[in-house]
Amino acid sequence: MTTHEAEEAIRALAGARQLQDPYLKRWLAMKQASRVALLEAARRLRLRTGQLAVALGLLEEIAVREDAGIDLVLARENLRYLIEADGPAPARASAFLTELRAIRFPQLGATIRRLGQEIAELQLPSGMNVVLPKDLNSDELVIRLSVRSPDELHRLTNVLTEKRDALARLVKMLGGGDAL
């Protein structure tokens, strides 16, 4: 793809997404390989406006921190997989941004993985979900029960009671009261 073709494609995508001018200017200011790599990722993942703006910011920060081009960041195996994989684009786009955040904020990523392991170890039955706050921006833990009968409600509330101490530990971990 020539420089002119890349610029036209980027402007077309930015126009279709109504991407604000400052983001477009930053995108166009990139080296050609980085511009094209981001264009490919945005197209394949069908990034929405906000997702594209967030991805651009995270990629710029990662590239500066690691002294690498955005094209090299996007060439990482875990990101390539998400960009090229089959499956619904919205889910892949969300996973892509989560992975970028984990790269940009490695401690946050490690904490999220640790909490995910703790939740998996609870072996909760279907109908009971523990939801962590997005990017751990809160100390609130959400526990969802999905029931269709009184018996199912009774069973899940009993499980909730049995798992109370382990769930309390998760809340304590979120609040910073326990080591992650």
pLDDT at 96: 94
pLDDT at 11: 93
Residues 86, 119 share a domain: no
In residues, how long is the chain? 180
pLDDT at 174: 80
Residues 119, 80 share a domain: no
Residues 82, 116 share a domain: no
Q: Which candidate, 45, 43, 37, 44, places its Cα nearest to that of 14?
A: 43
Helix, strand, coil percentages (3-state) for the chain, rounded to 5, are: 70, 5, 25
Q: One digit per residue, pLDDT tens: the chain, 180 residues?
A: 898 899 999 999 999 999 999 999 999 999 999 999 999 999 999 999 999 999 999 999 999 989 999 999 999 999 999 999 998 999 999 999 989 998 988 887 788 888 889 999 999 999 999 988 876 777 788 999 999 999 999 999 999 999 999 999 888 888 766 555
Residues 75, 53 share a domain: yes
Helix axes 89-104, 106-121, angle to 10 degrees: 120
Residues 162, 92 share a domain: no
The whole-model pTM stands at 0.69
DSSP notation for 68-134: --HHHHHTSHHHHHHHH--S-HHHHHHHHHHHHHHHHSHHHHHHHHHHHHHHHHT-PPTTEEEEPPG
Q: Which of 52, 69, 104 is the last residue of a domain?
A: 104
Q: Is residue 179 part of a domain?
A: no
Residues 11, 42 share a domain: yes
Q: Which candidate, 148, 169, 167, 150, places its Cα nearest to that of 159?
A: 167
d(CA 104, CA 79): 13
Tally of domains in the chain: 2
Amino acid at 109: G
Q: Which of 42, 71, 104 is the last residue of a domain?
A: 104
d(CA 30, CA 135): 28
d(CA 132, CA 115): 8
pLDDT at 166: 92
Residues 124, 55 share a domain: no
Q: Which of 104, 123, 142 is the last residue of a domain?
A: 104
What is the domain range of residue 26?
Answer: 3-104
Residues 88, 24 share a domain: yes
